[in-house]
């Protein structure tokens, strides 16, 4: 019972970390209050945090009820079993799909239309793991039990089917590594051969 109560209150601690990260990574976020009351993408993320909590304690009916409510209201589908660390930013969340065995690290920025999906219909680990401080451009598809390293950028509409090393820029269909030592916080390092359309929302 103690752990149940402790983890329930942790939802709000995690949400507060999410709000703090919005202030760092969303230029329209002038205050936590503004994000809390006006950002439907944040609402969808908060909805996931509640559904994940109940899923963890095997209260599946409540978990999936919250999950379905979130899908209808926010047009986002984040499986209750997925593991999203505190301090995630979802910007323009419409169309986001995050699968059951996916993991997402702190500081990651996710734009609309991103899919963290599987390549095959199999049981067990089949979804990607996203490191910390990653930027996933709009429409990006990261498929299979692969890993995207810390600080990487995945270009808009790219399809990633392989592991991506830390601090790399990956763009294209299928995605290829175009640059290394190019963090999600330092997109100005991109060379002139890669247009902004390759990686920005």
> Any idea what the CATH number is for the domain that residue 113 is in?
2.160.10.10
By the 8 A CB rule, do 185 and 156 touch? Answer: no
How do residues 93-110 score in pLDDT, each as one tens digit? 899 999 999 999 999 999
By the 8 A CB rule, do 113 and 97 touch? Answer: no
Q: Is the pLDDT of residue 198 over 60?
A: no
104 strand-pairing partners: 84, 130
Residues 170-189, mean pLDDT to the nearest whole number: 73
Residue ranges of alpha helices (H) inside the chain are 2-25, 32-38, 40-56, 60-74
What is the C-alpha radius of gyration for the chain, rounded to an integer number of angstroms?
16
Report residue 1's pLDDT band, with 50, 70 and 90 as the boundaries: confident
By the 8 A CB rule, do 164 and 147 touch? Answer: yes
Report residue 200's pLDDT band, with 50, 70 and 90 as the boundaries: very low
Residues 6+ apart with CB under 8 A from 94: 74, 75, 76, 112, 113
Question: What's residue 20's pLDDT?
Answer: 96
Tell the burial category of 166 from Cβ atoms under 10 Å away from its Cβ (0-12, 13-18, 19+).
middle
Question: What's residue 188's pLDDT?
Answer: 36
Distance CA 154, CA 27 (A): 20
| 60 against 199, higher pLDDT | 60
Average model confidence (pLDDT) for the chain? 89
Q: Is the pLDDT of residue 182 over 70?
A: no
Percent of the chain with pLDDT over 90: 81
Name the nearest CA neighbour of 25 among 113, 90, 120, 76: 90
Question: What's residue 93's pLDDT?
Answer: 87
Residues 6+ apart with CB under 8 A from 8: 53
Q: Is the pLDDT of residue 76 over 70?
A: yes
Q: How many domains does the chain have?
A: 1
**Segments forming the whole domain that contains residue 91:** 2-198
How do residues 126-150 score in pLDDT, each as one tens digit? 999 999 999 999 999 999 999 999 9
What is the total residue count of the chain? 201
Report residue 184's pLDDT band, with 50, 70 and 90 as the boundaries: low
């Amino acid at each position: 019972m103690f752990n149940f109560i402790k983890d329930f209150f942790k939802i709000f601690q995690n949400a507060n970390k999410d709000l703090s990260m919005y202030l760092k990574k969303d230029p329209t976020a002038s205050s936590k209050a503004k994000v809390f009351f006006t950002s439907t993408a944040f609402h969808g993320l908060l909805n996931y945090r509640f559904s994940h909590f109940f899923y963890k304690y095997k209260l599946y009916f409540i978990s999936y009820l919250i999950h379905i409510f979130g899908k209808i209201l926010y047009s986002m589908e984040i499986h209750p079993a997925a593991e999203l660390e505190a301090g995630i930013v979802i910007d323009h969340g419409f169309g986001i799909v995050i699968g059951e065995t996916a993991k997402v690290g702190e500081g990651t920025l996710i734009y609309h239309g991103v899919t963290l999906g599987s390549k095959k219909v199999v049981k067990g680990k089949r979804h990607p793991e996203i490191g910390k401080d990653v930027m996933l451009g709009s429409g990006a598809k990261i498929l299979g039990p692969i890993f995207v390293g810390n600080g990487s950028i995945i270009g808009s509409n790219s399809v990633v089917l392989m592991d991506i090393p830390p601090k790399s820029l990956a763009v294209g269909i299928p995605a290829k590594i175009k640059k290394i030592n190019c963090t999600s916080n330092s997109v100005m390092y991109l060379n002139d051969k890669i247009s902004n359309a390759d990686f920005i929302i």
